[in-house]
Amino acid sequence: MTDQDDDMPPGADPEELGALEDPGLFDAPPLAEQERMVEAMLFATSEPLTLREMGTRMPQGCDPATAVAMLQNHYRGRGVNVVQVGGAWALRTAPDVSFLMQKEVVETRKLSRAAIETLAIIAYHQPATRAEIEEIRGVAVSRGTIDLLLDLDWIRIGRRRETPGRPVTFIVTEAFLDHFSLSSARDLPGLGELRAAGLLDARRMPGQQEDAAETDDAGPEDEEDEGQEEMF
């Protein structure tokens, strides 16, 4: 924290402390300045930004994580809040003043019951194959339902399941988290209770061989690539 050099104990060698704290050739800007930068960037976009994206734009030696934490603190309780969306950050209006934004509301078409249920099943069971969605709903999932959700950018195609036929799986996206004000898929309402009740287990009809769904409880933990797949 280069902006706190004034606070160092008397007698300490400023050169040495500086060298310890900031290995860069140039001092990073003071944290207050970094906070301003992060603030400006988050204001400038309507999409969430990752720390990495912010970091590559900021001068060398900056610490976007600390700056975002400070900013989040600054906006606590205000009309606009700093919210986490998956691995990224965004500014969003506080929900309690939504009544002021009536004019801003974009009329979204009403989702069909099939689409809503399919979305929830993917979110709570992800990664989920089409067969698993159909198994839970007890009815075929139409191509249009999946297409609609893909179109809304609420789901995307995840890794293929390593079972016969290598079916594609679906997972929810960051846009989904953003839309439903979730900072991560772990925050899905009631997730813990559902899991505790065993309702998210991939149970098959007794007598049928264990395939597909059973393997994914073990699967994603090993390979780290998707992040989202390990949320549960």
Partner 1 sequence: MTEPGSNVTEIDARLAAEALIVDVDGFEGPLDLLLSLSRTQKVDLRTISVLALAEQYLSFVDRAKALRIELAADYLVMAAWLAFLKSKLLLPPDPKEDGPSAEEMADHLAFQLERLAAMREAAARLMGRDRLGRDVFARGMPEGISTHRNVMYQATLLDLMQAYARIRTKDDFRPYVMDREAILTMEQALDRLRGMIAFAGQWSDLASYLPVEWQGDSARRRSSLASTFAATLELAKEGRVELRQSDIFGPIELRKTPE
Which residues contact partner 1 (rule: CB under 8 A)?
Answer: 40-41, 43-47, 49, 57, 90-95, 98, 100-111, 113-117, 119-121, 123-124, 136-140, 148, 152, 178-182, 188-191, 194, 197, 199-201, 203-207, 212-213
Beta carbon nearer to partner 1, 17 or 111 = 111
Q: From CA 196, how far away is CA 193, in angstroms rounded?
A: 5
Partner whose binding site includes residue 120, from its own copies, partner 1, none (CB under 5 to 8 Å by kind):
partner 1
Beta carbon nearer to its own copies, 20 or 101 = 101
Beta carbon nearer to partner 1, 70 or 85 = 85
Q: From CA 126, how far away is CA 6, in angstroms rounded?
A: 51
Beta carbon nearer to its own copies, 36 or 179 = 36
Partner whose binding site includes residue 191, from its own copies, partner 1, none (CB under 5 to 8 Å by kind):
partner 1
Partner whose binding site includes residue 197, from partner 1, its own copies, none (CB under 5 to 8 Å by kind):
partner 1
Interface positions with its own copies (CB under 8 A): 35-41, 43-46, 56-58, 77-80, 91, 93-94, 97-98, 100-104
Q: What is the DSSP string of 157-202?
A: EEEEPSSTT--EEEEE-HHHHHHTT-SSGGGSTTHHHHHHTTTTS-
User: Which residues are within 8 A (CB) of 65 and not within 5 positions of it... i.e. 6 or more apart?
Assistant: 51
Q: Of 218, 226, 214, 194, which Cα lies nearest the Cα of 120?
A: 194
Alpha carbon 192 to chain centroid distance? Answer: 18
Beta carbon nearer to partner 1, 4 or 142 = 142
Partner whose binding site includes residue 25, from its own copies, partner 1, none (CB under 5 to 8 Å by kind):
none
For 177, left (φ over 0), alpha (ψ -120 to 50), or beta?
Answer: alpha
